[in-house]
Amino acid sequence: MPEGDTIFRSARTLHRALAGSAVTGFETQLPALARVDTDDPIIGRTVEYARATGKWLQIGFSGNLVLLTHMLMSGSWHIYRPGEPWQKSRHHMRVAIATQAIIAVAFNVQLAEFHTARSLARRQGFSQLGPDVLGADFDEAEAVARLASNPDLELGVALLTQSILAGLGNVFKSEICFVAGLNPFERVGELSKMQLESLVSIARRLMAANVTNTGMRQTTGLPDPEERLWVYQRTGQPCRQCGATILSRKQGLDARTSFWCPVCQSM
Ligand SMILES: [Zn+2]
């Protein structure tokens, strides 16, 4: 599942490829989008920006129109030159936006909506997003406050709650807890303000480090590509710090697996 770092990179790539260009072609398999296009065509508009907010991606068009997408489990944006073969089959295409120079194709995107600035500000799930871990205006104090106001949540669940902190997914959840030395099953209310502050700044630092390099996710800073992550998907293997066996367990209503070292992250 794409996390905020992946979406951030997609948005940056789309922005570089599309912003400032006029739309010369628009295609969609989603009826709600097609209806808007019929009433008020996308062709002829200028792409103003592409940006990420948490795990959401927005593409802004002239004439007060925003395409809001969420990748959920399997969605992705690709960029092609005209005539270049696509890497996925055409029937996975949901939206395609063409300019003279490129075609941006959204594959398997399960959530795609057109909005005006006003309807976007009211969009459930989007308007309530917490501070965006990768946002230029990231408000650390607000993120700490939102965490603190959910004392009953387990840490691993709180970090995935997008209305608390936007952009984190399952990989970073476990890695952030490890770097912070905190057990993902500990309740937020058990932590001191200093621990919460440290957690938030670790989240910001790990995510930011992963949008600058374009390769695989990396949290350990170790040179060996086999040692990129501390705990994620390392069940049964020795902790890179203390040698104890890494554990994993499903967590929360969504049963997202958390990975941790029982020694470095004792409760
Ligand atoms: Zn350990």
Judged on CB neighbours under 10 Å (0-12, 13-18, 19+), 23 is buried
Is residue 250 annotated as part of the catalytic site, yes or no?
no
Distance, CA 239 to ligand 1 centroid (Å)? 5
Distance, CA 256 to ligand 1 centroid (Å)? 21
* Closest listed residue to residue 66, CA positions, set 77, 56, 54: 56
Judged on CB neighbours under 10 Å (0-12, 13-18, 19+), 91 is exposed
Give the DSSP H or E segment for 197: helix 193-212
Q: Average model confidence (pLDDT) for the chain?
A: 92
* pLDDT beyond 80 at 69: yes
Give the DSSP H or E segment for 248: strand 247-251
Distance, CA 264 to ligand 1 centroid (Å)? 4
Distance, CA 229 to ligand 1 centroid (Å)? 13
* pLDDT beyond 90 at 124: no
Is residue 2 annotated as part of the catalytic site, yes or no?
yes
Distance, CA 251 to ligand 1 centroid (Å)? 20
Tell me the HSE value of 133 on the side-chain side, using a 13 A CA sphere.
Answer: 36
- Render pLDDT for 178-235 as a digit per residue (tens, 0 to 9): 999 999 999 999 999 999 999 999 999 998 888 875 567 889 988 888 889 999 999 9
Rounded percentage of the chain residues whose pLDDT exceeds 90: 75
* pLDDT beyond 90 at 137: no
pLDDT the model gives residue 48: 95
Phi/psi of residue 69, each to 5°?
-130, 155
DSSP assignments along 102-158, one per residue: -EEEEES-SEEEEE-HHHHHH-TTTTT---BTT-TT--HHHHHHHHHT-TTSBHHHH
